[in-house]
Amino acid sequence: MAVALDVQDLRTYFRTKKGLVKAVDGVSFYIDEGEIIGIVGESGCGKSETMLSTVQLIQTPGEIVSGRVIFNGEDILQLKANSPAMRSIRGSKISFIFKEPMTSLNPTLSINRQMTEILELHLDMDKPTARERAIELLEMVGVPDAGSRIDDLPHQFSGGMRQRVTIAMALACNPPIIIADEPTTVADITTQAQLLELMKELVTRLNTAIIIVTQNLGVVARYARRIYVMYAGRIVESGPSEAVFNHPCHPYTLGLLRSVPRLGENKTLRKLAPIYGLPPDLIDMPPYCAFLPRCTHKTERCEKDPRPEMRPVGEGHYISCYVDLRDTP
């Protein structure tokens, strides 16, 4: 399977009055064609900034300091942020689905207007063809009665339907990659299941690769083939989802998994074990491991040595930690 997107050592820093915020600090990941991967981390870990950086949507005071984003054999970070080539990639090659559909849609324009704009701009369609294609897309994502609903405004749709519309818009140009940033967080549980099943079906049917960025471990456990866990601007563990969830090797990943209640396990059966403390301030990061102050498995070496680099611990399974949890009971 060919690699659809390969991000190498990406760094995005924000210059603020208080100091330099290293929001993305050397992140590398890849996604194959037609694959679903999950990027997991708590708020402020830099997962959204990483995604926005891949298509150069970072605004001042943020700046992409270094890294390579290989797409179609080309490093697209070399393109100017507002060049036609970069805009065409954003419009038709790597599209986004955001958390809140009401804020990613224009409330004053009909769905028809918003969808056909993309098709006319990026695929040079004329108005009637674009409308036809837009209806087809809405039908594909399961909007009932798409032919008449296309002229409705966003507020006339329910939350779940609105998110289907944004999925249809993301699919408009048949992009090889879709980045879904918390796509189902605001949806109800049964709607969330509908949307995720839909996205999974589209992956198989259209061979689209989807990056799901989320805090919800369960969602990625079910749908993603590989997982990247982020903490304080870096990937701390990555690997096939069975390896990461069933045999976590990084203390942070283990901490996250022990913090979430599991279905069928009442408080009388298993106590939650939260990660105590707070995530670090991304200004003036210590030279050692960023998780150290909260880590329950730290060794002497962790304080002396620099931040650990990624190292393999299994088939496609990597951690950035000097300790390997499989060695500790």
Partner 1 sequence: MNTSLNDILVEVNNLKMYFPIKRGIFRRKVGEVKAVDDIDFTIRRNETLGLVGESGCGKTTTGRCISRFYNPTSGSIFFDGTDISRMPEKHLKPLRRSIGAIFQDPYSSLNPRQRAGSIVAEPLKFHHLADKTELHDRVAALFRLVGLDPVMSYRVPYELSGGQQQRIAIARALASQPSLVICDEPVSTLDISAQAQIINLLEELQESQELTYLFLSRDLATVQYISDRVAVMYLGRIMELTTSEELCKNPLHPYTQALISATPITDPVVDKTRQRIVLEGEIPSPVNPPTGCHFHPRCPIAIGECGEQRPPLRDVGEGHYVACIRV
Binding footprint of partner 1 on the chain (CB under 8 A)? 42-43, 158, 160-161, 188-194, 197, 215-219, 221-222, 241-242, 245-246, 255-267, 271-276, 278-279
| Minimum gap (Å) between residue 220 Cβ and partner 1 | 8
The tokens describing 139, both together, are 């039908």
| Minimum gap (Å) between residue 106 Cβ and partner 1 | 23
The nearer residue to partner 1, 123 or 257, going by C-beta atoms, is 257
The nearer residue to partner 1, 109 or 260, going by C-beta atoms, is 260
The nearer residue to partner 1, 153 or 221, going by C-beta atoms, is 221
Q: Which residue has the tokens 């399977």?
A: 1
| Minimum gap (Å) between residue 173 Cβ and partner 1 | 28
| Minimum gap (Å) between residue 21 Cβ and partner 1 | 17
Angle (CA) 6-86-3 rounded to 5° is: 20
The nearer residue to partner 1, 270 or 301, going by C-beta atoms, is 270
CB-based contact 166:136 (threshold 8 Å):
no
| Minimum gap (Å) between residue 258 Cβ and partner 1 | 8
The nearer residue to partner 1, 45 or 118, going by C-beta atoms, is 45
Contacts for 133 with CB less than 8 Å, ≥ 6 apart: 119, 125, 172
DSSP 110-175: -HHHHHHHHHHHHH---HHHHHHHHHHHHHHTT-TTHHHHTTS-GGGS-HHHHHHHHHHHHHTT--
